[in-house]
Amino acid sequence: MQKNFARYVADVEMQKLDRLIANLGNVYTVYHDWGNAIQAQILQIEGTAAPDDYDRLSQWWLRRQYDIALQQRYFNDHTLLSLSPTLAQNNVEIKNRQIFNDEELKILKQNLPSEYQPFEGLRFPLSPRQFRLKTDSKQDKQDSKLNAAPAEQGKKRFVSIPDRLGLSSRLSLYDENQQFIVGEPATDQISFRPIVVGEKVVGYLGLKPVLDQDDASSINFFSNQKRYLLLVYALTVLSSLVAALLMATYFKKPIQRLLKATLELTDGNYQHQVVIKRNDELGDLSNQLNHLADILHQHEESRRQWVSDTSHELKTPLAVLQAQI
């Protein structure tokens, strides 16, 4: 159960990565190799790299592609809201996901990144401040890239938005043979989505489940869920038995009364009446049985009257003949 549930959650989260999968397919169309694509896009950055900058960017490439897809999707959603006031009023979910104000959204529009130039706006050597759009502390907000001087002429500013779902740290990229390339190392529980270019699978996007089956809190959670399910199962069985007993009693009593009435009719007690005050088929059957008893009683009375009259008529001539003899 724990294993299947973690896999199910990851599969549901995978549905939010359609834009990323499409962008990765576009990148592969240009370079025809994942390693060449990563290396070529890193070499687009100007400046003198620090010793570990290339390794950092190689590991960070897939996260950046996810960030780009997230920005593109976010911008498209809020562009639709601005173009359609009716849609903005009705789509409360998108409005609740709003991260930026109007000014920041304008900056995002001006610097909307492309999957073909994921590191545009960066310069070597890298610094941690180049990886943020919004931060939590007031001081960092004042020094944020949104409020900094404009980027160089003709170049976009490097921006990033928060990953509220935490998907970027669990992503991994694989080739067409599901051999690991970059991202989060593979596990047995990873969920895959194929990357298709021209009806050909050129790679797979993997997502590590957010629930680790070896994590103590995860184990405790599923243990509690199992206990709750067993309790619900026991209560369901018990309530079903009680309901079945009540239903059996509800139908058994009128059936027994009908059976007794038929035995009374068989014994010739046509005056017996069965009382079942119900609006279902058993009630209709009891009414018909009572009507049958009335008819049989009338026929029995008629038969007795006919026998009595016939006997009386036959007694008179027989008495005369007997007297004369």
- For the chain, the structural domain boundaries read 2-212, 218-310
Q: Which two tokens stand for residue 97?
A: 């996901």
pLDDT at position 219 is 65
Chunk the chain into consecutive blocks of 10 residues (it has 325) and report each block's average pLDDT, rounded to whole numbers: 63 86 95 94 89 88 91 75 48 52 68 86 76 43 40 59 80 93 78 92 89 59 83 95 91 87 87 84 87 89 85 73 70
pLDDT at position 133 is 41
